[in-house]
């Protein structure tokens, strides 16, 4: 498929998607989100891919939903769901891990997109924010829901109500990002983390993602029960036999489902 708003490549078993509207600081329009959803689904279905990295440019991961696109939308345009939010849920449906590799601005929908990913590796230049309030709107793709879960109610209120940006160091302290690394090595670190994941058995990888995500959505008792059932089910996989046998025999495992 030919993409106009993203670049898609593979690096070994890692799928790399680069948001590519640099002049608009990767503002997320419907066409870009359509393409991102399609590329993510293609990688998810590809047995040769074990993990996905989504990145932007040096200056911006994404500066939010495209304001030019949204400016004239009516209530019914957006409420019907055909615009702005129509493809955002696709990211959530992807079952392989997605790493957001963030440099520069991750604002509004850009911050929300990063939070939809499973791991966030940030350059020391990264700036996160939910400045929608300055435009007379509010976060619309999970900002008011994922941010409090990631950084506490106090910080989420601060960011969504004052529109101030959080730098990379604060974002790491607050728990919004997994790691902060120097800008020069950010993409390499993200690709290396993805390559590491992509070598592990896919059933375990996918179940870890599913199980950690369930921590957001259920009670602790339900979540622990769900985790235990997934844990049990991994004993039905050949890769569990191979992983444990290889450890005992002091050799490298050869996993079947990667």
Summarize as ranges the residues that interact with ligand HXC (CB under 6 A).
Answer: 24-25, 27, 63-68, 84-85, 88, 105, 107-109, 112, 131-132, 135, 140-141
Q: What residue has token string 């728990």?
A: 175
Cα distance between residue 53 and residue 100, in whole Å: 6
Q: How many helices (H) and strands (E) does the chain have?
A: 12, 10
Question: To the nearest whole angstrom, how small is the minimum distance from the Cβ of residue 93 to ligand HXC?
Answer: 16
Query: Rounded to an integer, what distance in angstroms lies between the CA atom of residue 18 and that of residue 127?
Result: 18
Q: Residue 245, Cα to own-chain centre: how many angstroms?
A: 33
The residue among 3 and 83 lying less far from ligand HXC, judged by its C-beta, is 83
Structure tokens at 179: 């790691």
Minimum distance from CB of 136 to ligand HXC (Å)? Answer: 10
In the complex, what is the shortest distance from the CB of residue 162 to ligand HXC, in angstroms, rounded to a whole number? Answer: 13
Q: How far is the CB of 29 from ligand HXC (least distance, A)?
A: 8
Query: What residues are annotated to the active site?
Result: 65, 109, 112, 132
Instruction: Please state, in angstroms and rounded to a whole number, the distance separating the CA atoms of residues 92 and 113.
Output: 10
Q: Distance between CA atoms of 183 and 125, rounded to whole angstroms?
A: 6
Identify which of 52, 68, 62 has the alpha carbon closest to the alpha carbon of residue 113. Answer: 62
């Amino acid at each position: 498929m030919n993409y106009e708003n993203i670049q898609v490549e593979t690096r070994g078993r890692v799928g790399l998607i680069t948001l590519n509207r640099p002049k608009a600081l990767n503002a997320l329009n419907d066409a870009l989100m359509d393409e991102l959803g399609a590329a993510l689904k293609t990688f998810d279905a590809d047995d040769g891919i074990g993990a996905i990295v989504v990145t932007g440019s040096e200056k911006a991961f994404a500066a939010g939903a495209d304001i030019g696109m949204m400016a004239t939308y009516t209530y019914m345009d957006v409420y019907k769901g055909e615009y702005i939010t129509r493809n955002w849920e696709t990211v959530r449906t992807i079952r392989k891990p997605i790493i957001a590799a963030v440099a520069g601005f991750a604002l509004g929908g850009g911050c929300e997109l990063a939070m939809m990913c499973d791991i966030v590796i940030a350059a020391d230049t990264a700036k996160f924010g939910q400045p929608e309030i300055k435009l007379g709107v509010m976060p619309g793709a999970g900002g008011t829901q994922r941010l409090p879960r990631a950084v506490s109610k106090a910080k989420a209120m601060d960011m969504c109500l004052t529109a101030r940006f959080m730098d990379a160091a604060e974002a790491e302290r607050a728990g919004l990002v997994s790691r902060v690394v120097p800008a020069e090595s950010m993409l390499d670190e993200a690709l290396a983390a993805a390559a590491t994941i992509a070598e592990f058995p896919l059933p375990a990888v996918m179940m870890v993602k599913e199980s950690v995500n369930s921590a957001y959505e259920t009670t602790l008792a339900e979540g622990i029960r769900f985790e235990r059932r997934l844990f049990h089910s991994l004993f039905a996989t050949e890769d569990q036999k191979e992983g444990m046998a290889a450890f005992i025999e002091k050799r490298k495992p050869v996993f079947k489902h990667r």
